[in-house]
Amino acid sequence: MINKRSKPSLRKAPSSLLARLAGSGILHAAIEVFSRQGFAATSVEDILKAAGVARRTFYKHFGNKEEVLAAIYELATGELLGAIRGDGATGGDPLDTVARALDTYLDYHIANARLVRVLVQQAIRSDSALHALRQRFRQNLIELLDAAVRTSTGEQNDPMLYAALVSALEGISLDLLSSEAGPSEVARAKKVMHLLLERTLIADA
């Protein structure tokens, strides 16, 4: 076990993905429509109208609405991984990076709650195009956690330990999304995840 205690950090919650996605193209419009209507109720025609593009233009880039959602999922998870890696690039104790990664994950999900709810609902379905993307995203998170621990202590844990931590993070995020949680509930969730981190990865001194 690790003989260090990670200290929770105060961070500013990220702005929404929609607010940062420049322009009014297909993805920007699709994020608005999917967030408002959900996946099942959204049609390609809805996206076309919101984006103001012709059907022929749409089908040059996407085969159907699920391909659009998959592109949004890759954009969202890529941005989240970039934010987590950016936190670790500032130096300091790599284990603090693990705690900040948990916070960044939850902050991002809450900042983009309506969209993330749609993404998660599709990604957990084994027959969805997003399912493989979710598995890859989880693996990336597991590797980040593993690298932080190895860099800090040299300790090699069973990767399933990190998979369990990521699963707990996904679960608590879904609870927050389903209940439309406010700042106090998010702060509570972070505290619980930090406690879980301490109990699983960090031994008391």
> What pLDDT is stored for residue 85 in this prediction?
79
Structural domain that includes position 100: 65-201
pLDDT beneath 70: ranges in the chain? 1-24, 87-92, 94, 202-205
202 backbone dihedrals φ, ψ, rounded to 5°: -120, 115
User: Considering the domain boundaries, does residue 5 fall inside one?
Assistant: no
User: What is the DSSP track for 100-132?
Assistant: HHHHHHHHHHHHTHHHHHHHHHHHTSTTSTHHH
> What pLDDT is stored for residue 63 in this prediction?
92
CATH of the domain at 112: 1.10.357.10
pTM: 0.80
DSSP state of 92: S
Structure tokens at 164: 């369990």
How far is residue 129's CA from residue 88's CA, in Å, rounded to a whole number? 30
> What pLDDT is stored for residue 38 in this prediction?
94
How far is residue 113's CA from residue 198's CA, in Å, rounded to a whole number? 27
> What pLDDT is stored for residue 13 in this prediction?
38
> What pLDDT is stored for residue 202 in this prediction?
59
Q: What is the dihedral of CA 26, 178, 76, 148, to 10 degrees?
A: 180
> What pLDDT is stored for residue 40 in this prediction?
94
> What pLDDT is stored for residue 94 in this prediction?
67
Number of domains in the chain: 1
